Amino acid sequence: MKAEGEKKRLQRQATTRIETLFAQIRTLKPFNQEVADRYLRLVWQLSTKHKIRLASANKRSFCRKCKSYWRPGKTVRVRVQKSRIIYTCLVCGAIRRIHLHS
Ligand SMILES: [Zn+2]
């Protein structure tokens, strides 16, 4: 069994790795959906393995269902209503609603 400190250290490392992966996706030039999706799968593996919660901005940048990276107008349709934002994944059709004032 791993010591508690070791677990924390690994978790911190994974968190840094996740942030780096998101940064890499955002700076892809030119943007490449396949590469972005591949990075995203790594992010997902790391976050589930180490039980890391993603930052809310990052959580909204991809589809929870098919793990496609969301680009407004390309792979996601974003609609803003009075108190919520509705994301429709254009890859798998999943709908995600985010309530703004809750
Ligand atoms: Zn999807």
Q: Are residues 45 and 87 in the same domain?
A: no
Look at residue 101 in the predicted model and tell me its pLDDT.
73
Look at residue 2 in the predicted model and tell me its pLDDT.
64
CA 3 – CA 46 distance, rounded (Å):
19
The domain total for the chain is: 2
pTM of the model: 0.86
Q: Are residues 52 and 17 in the same domain?
A: yes
Look at residue 16 in the predicted model and tell me its pLDDT.
97
Look at residue 91 in the predicted model and tell me its pLDDT.
97
Question: The domain spanning residue 53 has which CATH number?
Answer: 1.20.5
Look at residue 14 in the predicted model and tell me its pLDDT.
97
How far, in Å, from the CA of 92 to the mean position of ligand 1? 4
How far, in Å, from the CA of 69 to the mean position of ligand 1? 9
Q: Are residues 39 and 86 in the same domain?
A: no
How far, in Å, from the CA of 49 to the mean position of ligand 1? 21
Look at residue 4 in the predicted model and tell me its pLDDT.
83
Boundary residue ending a domain (26, 41, 59):
59
Q: Are residues 65 and 48 in the same domain?
A: no
For CA atoms 51, 56, 59, 64, the dihedral sign is: positive
How far, in Å, from the CA of 66 to the mean position of ligand 1? 4
How far, in Å, from the CA of 47 to the mean position of ligand 1? 18
Q: Domain span at residue 46?
A: 1-59
- pLDDT tens for the chain, residues 1 to 102: 667 899 999 999 999 999 999 999 999 999 999 999 999 999 999 999 999 999 989 999 999 999 999 999 999 999 999 899 999 999 999 999 999 875
How far, in Å, from the CA of 41 to the mean position of ligand 1? 13
Q: Are residues 24 and 50 in the same domain?
A: yes
CA angle 11, 44, 64 (to 5 degrees): 135
Cβ(85)–Cβ(78) below 8 Å = yes
Instruction: Select from 51, 53, 70 the least CA-distant residue to 19.
Output: 53
Count Cβ atoms within 10 A of the Cβ of residue 8 and give its class: 0-12 exposed, 13-18 middle, 19 or more buried: exposed
Q: 47: how many CB neighbours lie within 10 A of its CB?
A: 18
